Structure 1
Amino acid sequence: MAEKTTILGGGAMATACAILLAEDSNRQVTIWARNEAYAAEMQETRENKRLLPGIFLPDGVQVTSDIEEAVKGANFYVASIPSKHLRESLSVIGDSLRPGIPVISVIKGMEAETFLRPSQIIIDVIGDRPVISLSGPSHAEEIAKRLPASVVAACEDLELGQQVQRMFTTERFRVYTNKDLVGTELAGALKNIIGIAAGISDGLGYGDNAKSAMITRGIVEISRFGVELGADPNTFAGLAGIGDLITTCVSPHGRNRAVGERLGQGETLTEILNTMQAVAEGITTTAAIHGLAKSKEIEMPIVDEVYEVLFHEKSPLEATDSLMCRPLKEE
Structure 2
Amino acid sequence: MSIAVLGAGAFGTALAISLAKGEQGVLLWARDPEHAKSMQSERMNTARLPKAPFPESLRVACDLDTIKGIQTVLIAVPMQQLARFAQDNRQVLAGKILVACCKGIDLTTGLGPTAVLKSVLPDTPRAILTGPSFAHDIAIGLPTALTLACEDATLGTQLQHDLSSANLRLYRSVDVVGAELGGALKNVIAIACGATIGAGLGESARAALITRGFAEMQRMAQAVGAKPETLAGLSGFGDLALTCASEGSRNFRFGLSLGRGEAFDPSITVEGAATAKACLARAKALNLDMPITAAVVAMIEQTLTLKEAMDTLLARPLKEETC
User: Could you state the TM-score of these two structures normalised by the residue count of structure 2?
Assistant: 0.96
**d(CA) in 1 for partners of 2:316, 2:47:** 43
Which of these residues, 261, 264, 287, is aligned with residue 266 of structure 1? Answer: 261
Which of these residues, 95, 98, 110, is aligned with residue 91 of structure 2? Answer: 95
Q: CA RMSD in A?
A: 1.3
Instruction: Provide structure 2 residue ranges, at least 5 long, that are not aligned to the other structure.
Output: none
**Alignment of 1:322 onto 2:312:** yes
**d(CA) in 2 for partners of 1:314, 1:185:** 29
TM-fit CA distance, 1:157? 1.3
Alignment partner, residue 12 of structure 1: 10
How many matched pairs? Answer: 321
Fraction of identical pairs, as percent: 38
**d(CA) in 2 for partners of 1:56, 1:46:** 6
> Secondary structure of 2:25's partner?
strand
Distance verdict in 2 for CA 1:171–1:4, change over 3 Å: closer
Conserved in 2, the CA contact under 8 Å of 1:194 and 1:303?
yes
Alignment partner, residue 42 of structure 1: 39
Alignment partner, residue 22 of structure 2: 24
TM-fit CA distance, 1:23? 2.1
Which deviates more from structure 2 when the two are superposed, residues 49-58 or residues 188-197? 49-58
Give runs of aligned pairs for residues 205-216 of structure 1, distance below 5 A. 205-216=200-211
Which of these residues, 58, 65, 68, is aligned with residue 55 of structure 2? Answer: 58
Which of these residues, 290, 298, 305, is aligned with residue 308 of structure 1? Answer: 298
TM-fit CA distance, 1:171? 3.3
Give runs of aligned pairs for residues 147-296 of structure 1, distance below 5 A. 147-267=142-262, 271-272=263-264, 275-296=265-286
User: Could you state the TM-score of these two structures normalised by the residue count of structure 1?
Assistant: 0.94
TM-fit CA distance, 1:276? 4.3
Conserved in 1, the CA contact under 8 Å of 2:21 and 2:57?
no
Paired amino acid for 1:312: Q
Paired amino acid for 2:80: K
What do residues 215-274 of structure 1 show as CA deviations (whole Å, max 9, x unaligned)? 11111000100110110111111111100000010122100000000100012xxx31xx
Give runs of aligned pairs for residues 96-115 of structure 1, distance below 5 A. 96-97=92-93, 99-115=94-110
Conserved in 1, the CA contact under 8 Å of 2:143 and 2:167?
yes
**d(CA) in 2 for partners of 1:166, 1:54:** 27
TM-fit CA distance, 1:111? 0.5
Conserved in 1, the CA contact under 8 Å of 2:44 and 2:53?
yes
> Secondary structure of 1:42's partner?
helix
What do residues 111-134 of structure 1 show as CA deviations (whole Å, max 9, x unaligned)? 111101100111222332221111
Conserved in 1, the CA contact under 8 Å of 2:148 and 2:171?
yes
Which deviates more from structure 2 when the two are superposed, residues 8-17 or residues 39-48? 39-48
**d(CA) in 2 for partners of 1:90, 1:55:** 29
TM-fit CA distance, 1:72? 2.2
Alignment partner, residue 146 of structure 1: 141
> Secondary structure of 1:250's partner?
coil
